[in-house]
Chain A
C-alpha cells in the first residue's frame, strides 16, 4: 500500500509537483494522466526518492519512505523509468538478473534458486525467453522496453511504479504488457502506479485515474469520473469526444482534429439516386454519417453508397450476409463504404422524393412490400411466420445531425410509416388488426454533417416535420403501387 500526503517537490530551484495527495491500495492500479510537462514523471521520481521532496510524506505500508534503506526500498518498490541508457553491452539475462540485486547480500552473494526462478519467470511473462542470450543493444526499442519491464518484475516488489510502460510497443505488445501487469495486480495483490500518455489505455486498464495539471492534482477518481470531455479538454487543451468502450464499462476518447478542410459543398440531391431492375443505389461524392439496421454495415459509420437490392421469393435467407457481401463486391461496391439492404419488391417501384426546408433538405426513399404486415401490439399472440415483405426506409439529410437527432429521426420516420399503413388499412392477416409495419423493416438515416446544425429531429422541428411528411407520403405511395402490382386494387 502506498500513501502520498501533500507531497511537493521537484528539481533544485523549481517546485514542479505541488501538494499531491492520494493513496493506492493493494491489488489496485492507478493511472497518472496529464499533458506533457504536467509533472507526471517528476511526481514518480519524487515518490521513488530520486528527486528530493520539499514537503509532505510518502508512506509505504505505513512507514515513511525515508526510513527504508536502499535495498529494503528496492524490495518494496520496483520502478520502470521512461528513458533507458546503457554504455556497455549486456546480455538480456544479465540485465534482468540485475533486478535481483536487492535480494542478494554478502560478499560473494550467491545466486539462489529463488533468484533464478524470478528471472526465468519475468522473461516468460514478457515473452522474451528467446532473447535470453542476445545483446541488449542489438534488440529493437520495443524488445528493450520489455527487457526493462522484466527487470522490474524480477525485483518481485509488491509496489510497481511505471513511467509509460507501453512506450515503443506495438498494440499486441501493449496489450500483452498491460494484461500481464493487470494480472499481477489482481493475482498477487500488487500495488501499481503507472503514467500513461494514452488516455484510452489508462481508462481501460486502471481502477482509478489521477489527472495532473501544472503539477497539481486536477481530479482523481474512477475512469468515468476523470475521462470526461470538459476535464480532458481543459487540461490537455485539445478537442475530444468521449464514447463507451465496446466491451468494458470504461470511457474512451476520440481526438477531434482542427484541420481546415477544403470547403467543398457536399450537397446531395435526388440526382444521387439510380434505379435499375435490380437495385436502388444512392451514391455520394463524400461519406455520410449513417445510422442503419441494414444487412451490410449496420450501426453507425461513414458510408457513401447505399444499396437496396431486390431478391426473389426463393432467396436463401440463411446465408444472406455472406452472399450479400459477395454480391456487392462483385458489382464493384467497396466493402467498407457501402450499406446494403434487401427487399422483395420491384426496385422500379421505389418512391424517392426530396423535401426542402430552411435547414437544408431531406430525401426519402421507400420500398414497401406489405405481404408480411404485422401489428406489433398483437405480435405476441401469433407465431411469426417467415414471409416475404419488407418496408425499407431511407432518410438522407443535408445538414449536421447530433447523435440524438439520428435517434429522433428514426422515431419520427417509424411513426410516419405506421400512420401510412393505417391510412392504407394494411392489416395483419393473422390478427385482422391494422398493421404497424412488417416483421423485417429496415431504416437508414444518413447526413452530410455539413451545413446547418440540427440538434433534434422530432416532429416539433422543421427537419422532423419534413421527415414525417416525407416518409408518410412516400410510404403511402409505395403501398399503393405494391397493391396495384399485386392486383389487390
Chain B
C-alpha cells in the first residue's frame, strides 16, 4: 500500500474519531448514537442537532478550509511558513468582515452571503498587496521577506479594525471576541453560509494540484513544463482567498491551522500536492474539531477562544519549521 493510501485511511479515521468526540463530549455527555437513534432522549437530541453538530461541522469546514488554503499558499510561494494567518490574509478578511458589520452593508442579491463575500474580497486584495509588496522588496521573494510583509500588513489591518471598533462604541464589542476566533453558537445558518464557498474554493485548489507540484520548482520552471502560470496562479489565489475569507467570516481569525496541518501531512505522507491538498483538508477538519473540543472543555464552564489553542500548538511548530529551514540553508 502506498504512503498516500495509508494517509487517507488514517486521516479519515482520525476525522471520524474527532467527530465522535466533538459530538459526545461536553458539559453533558451524550452518546453518539443519538445522531441516528430515533428513539433518543429529546434533550440529548436537541443538544446534538442544534448545538454540537453545527459546531462540529462548522469547525470542520473552517479547519479544512484554512488547512488546504495554507497548503496551496505554501506551494505557490514555495514558502513553508506561509499560511492565511502569517500572510496577513486572515487580517484582510477580518477587515472585510468588520467593514460589512460596521457600515451595515447588505447587498440584496447576496443575502446571507454578503459577509463571506466581503471577507473574501478583503482576503484577495490583501493577498495581492502582500505579494506585490514582497516582490518589490526582494525579487526572489525569500521566506523571511514574505512573512515580514505579512506581519506588516497584519499589524496595519489590525489597527484598522481596532479603530473601527473604537468608533462604534458598545455595539461591536462582541466583534472582539469574534476576532479571537470561535465557532460557538453559530448554528446551521453559518454552515449554510460557508458550504458553497468551501466547495468552490476547494475545487479550485484541487484542480491545480499538479500545477502546484510544478510550481514548487519555481514559476519559470513550471512555465517550461507547460503550466499556464498566470492563469493557474490566479485560480490558486482566488481559491485560497475564498476559503480564507469564508473561514474568517464564520469564525473570526484562527491562526496557524494552515501552517501546522500541511506541514504534518507532508512530514507523514510526503510532499506530493496531489495528496497534500486533500489530506490537509481532512486533517484540518479533524484538528479544528479537536481544538474546539479542548477550548470548550479545558476550563469549563468558561470557554477559551479556539484561536488560543491553535496558536498554542501553531507557534512552536512555526518556530520549528523556521529553525529547520534555516539549518538546511534553504530558501
Binding site for B on A (CB under 8 A): 45, 48-50, 69-75, 78-79, 81, 84-91, 94-95, 98-99, 101-102, 104, 107, 109, 137, 151, 155
Contact = CB atoms under 8 A, between A and B. Distances in A.
A86 B75 CA distance: 10
B223 A87 contact: no
B225 A104 contact: no
B228 A70 contact: yes
A85 B266 CA distance: 18
A102 B223 CA distance: 10
B228 A88 contact: no
Contact of A74 (B74, B75, B213, B224): B224
A101 B225 contact: yes
Contact of B80 (A73, A87, A102): A87
A18 to B, nearest CB: 22
B140 to A, nearest CB: 9
B6 to A, nearest CB: 16
A102 B225 contact: yes
A71 B213 CA distance: 16
Given A86-B216, A86-B217, A87-B216, A101 B78 contact: no
Contacts of A73: 226
A79 B224 contact: yes
B224 A78 contact: yes
A104 B209 CA distance: 13
Interface in B27-72: none
Max chain A C-beta neighbours (<10 A), residue from B221, B229, B271: B221
B137 to A, nearest CB: 16
22 contacts: A50-B220, A50-B224, A74-B226, A81-B221, A81-B224, A84-B217, A85-B78, A85-B218, A86-B78, A86-B216, A87-B74, A87-B75, A88-B80, A88-B271, A95-B217, A98-B210, A98-B214, A101-B226, A104-B210, A107-B207, A109-B210, A137-B330
B226 A88 contact: no
Interface string B89-123: 00000000000000000000000000000000000
A104 B226 CA distance: 10
A70 B228 CA distance: 5
B68 to A, nearest CB: 16
A484 to B, nearest CB: 80
A87 B79 contact: yes
B331 interface: yes
Contact of A101 (B227, B266, B328): B227
Given A70-B226, A101-B225, A85 B272 contact: no
B263 to A, nearest CB: 10
B210 A101 contact: yes
A87 B210 CA distance: 15
A299 to B, nearest CB: 47
B79 to A, nearest CB: 7
A94 B213 contact: yes
A88 B270 CA distance: 9
Contacts of B78: 85-87
Interface string B300-331: 00000000000000000000000000001011
Interface size range on B against A: 20 to 34
Interface in B107-155: none
A49 B223 contact: yes
Given A85-B217, A85-B331, A87-B78, A94 B272 contact: yes
A44 B225 CA distance: 15
Contact of B226 (A71, A86, A91, A94): A71
A74 B229 CA distance: 13
Contacts of B266: 88
B96 to A, nearest CB: 29
Contacts of A81: 220-221, 224
Contacts of A102: 225-226
Nearest to B330: A87
A107 B228 CA distance: 16
A49 B218 CA distance: 15
Nearest to B230: A70
A43 B259 CA distance: 39
A148 B75 CA distance: 19
Nearest to B231: A70
B225 A98 contact: yes
Contact of B331 (A75, A87, A104): A87
A70 B217 contact: no
Interface in B184-224: 207, 210, 213-214, 216-218, 220-221, 223-224
Nearest to B210: A101
Nearest to B219: A50
Contacts of B74: 87-88
Contact of A75 (B80, B226, B227, B228): B226
Given A85-B331, A87-B79, A90-B271, 9 more contacts: A81-B221, A87-B75, A87-B330, A88-B271, A98-B210, A101-B214, A102-B225, A104-B210, A109-B210
User: What are the 7 tightest A-B residue pairs by CB atom distance, in nearest-first order?
Assistant: A74-B226, A102-B226, A87-B78, A88-B271, A79-B224, A70-B228, A71-B226
Contacts of B214: 98, 101
Given A69-B228, A101-B214, A90 B272 contact: yes
Contacts of A104: 210
Interface string B170-183: 00000000000000
A75 B224 CA distance: 10
